Amino acid sequence: MFDYLKTSALAGAMIMAAGAAMAEYPEKPIEVIVGYSAGGGTDVMARTTAPFIEKYLGDGASIVVKNMPGASGQIGVTEAANADPDGYTLGTFNLPGMMARTIDREADYDADSFTYLANVVNDPNVIVTSKSSGLDTLDKLIEEAKANPGAITVGMSSLGGDDHFALIKLQGLTETEFTIVPFKGSAPARTALMGGHVAMGILNISEVAEFQEELNVLGVATLERSDFAPDLPTFKEQGLDLVNGSMRGFIAPAGLPEDVQAKLLAAFEQLSQDPEFLKAMKETANPVEVVTGDDFKALTKDLHALAQQVWDTTPWN
């Protein structure tokens, strides 16, 4: 009888300890590593989302965003993948870009290196040109690209990301050739474009919504017109079957404790039902598409397969 009581007491203590651990998380600030420069689409998404996750986590939760740009986002996501799986280091995660990093170069992570928390945004690509370029319509752009292969310089946030995929598709659909100028993030790419240092850019709609007076926006890579730019035609409307975009969300290192994972997932799952969050995202032109947990992981593996297919069918790989 004594052994039974001792065992029951021990089990009860373990259950209480587990409950306390879940209740106590987070006990210190949570760092979110953004693999791109401040002011770009991923950074804006992270900084807009962070206060709401703090609210849902409760207990005075604090989230600190840390920018670690470089290697097309690879530096930041590798840092997040290799962090202690204690819930105090999260990372932003871009699709298809982060999975493309495992195809076009050596990477210290793969699809199983993460605890998948949530995709938050699905942000379509846009093609933009500088005001000084004279290329203010899609037809003019394609005509010039065909007449002078490689003469048009294209600024984008990175190689192997959604911007690059969109360019690959554009070149294939139009039998054209452009010269890529990669940057460490979309913000410096946009700055170079506005300064006339590159003629054309492939960015995302959230990254140009506030700059439509300073840039020529030639079209949106969606099936239907975007609610964030209803006056902008899609490429399909203009006879070009170009649909492409960037998904942005959050991961943690693989092996996250189940109680911590459950609390984080519960927080992210509240995003799509929060009117204040949806309003904040609309103000930054970020189209919300929340996908959490196992569904987010499955989406990642599907897009990894798509990235592999794109790489296998391009001449420069």
Place of tokens 């962090």: 83
Percentage with pLDDT > 70 across the chain:
90
Rounded distance between C-alpha atoms, residue 19 and residue 10, angstroms:
14
Please give the model's pTM, rounded to 2 decimal places.
0.74
Q: Could you tell me which residue, 209 or 283, shows the higher pLDDT?
A: 283
Predicted pLDDT of residue 224: 85
User: Would you call 307 helix, strand, or coil by DSSP?
Assistant: helix
Predicted pLDDT of residue 168: 87
Predicted pLDDT of residue 260: 97
Query: Each residue of 66-84: pLDDT tens digit?
Result: 999 988 889 999 999 999 9
CA angle 292, 241, 189 (to 5 degrees): 65
Query: Each residue of 228-287: pLDDT tens digit?
Result: 778 889 999 999 999 888 889 999 999 999 999 999 999 999 999 999 999 999 888 888
Please name every residue paired with 121 in a beta bridge, in sequence order, or none if there are none. Answer: 248, 288
What letter represents residue 263's amino acid? K
Q: Could you tell me which residue, 9 or 193, shows the higher pLDDT?
A: 193
3-state secondary structure 143-168: HHHHHCCCCCEEEECCCCCHHHHHHH
Rounded distance between C-alpha atoms, residue 179 and residue 242, angstroms:
19
Q: What is the DSSP-derived secondary structure letter of residue 131?
A: G
Query: Each residue of 50-70: pLDDT tens digit?
Result: 999 999 999 889 999 999 998
pLDDT at 310 over 70: no
Q: Of the given ranges (93-97, 115-119, 276-280), which has the lowest mean pLDDT?
A: 93-97
Within the chain, strands assigned E span: 30-34, 63-67, 89-95, 114-130, 153-156, 179-182, 200-204, 215-220, 245-253, 288-292
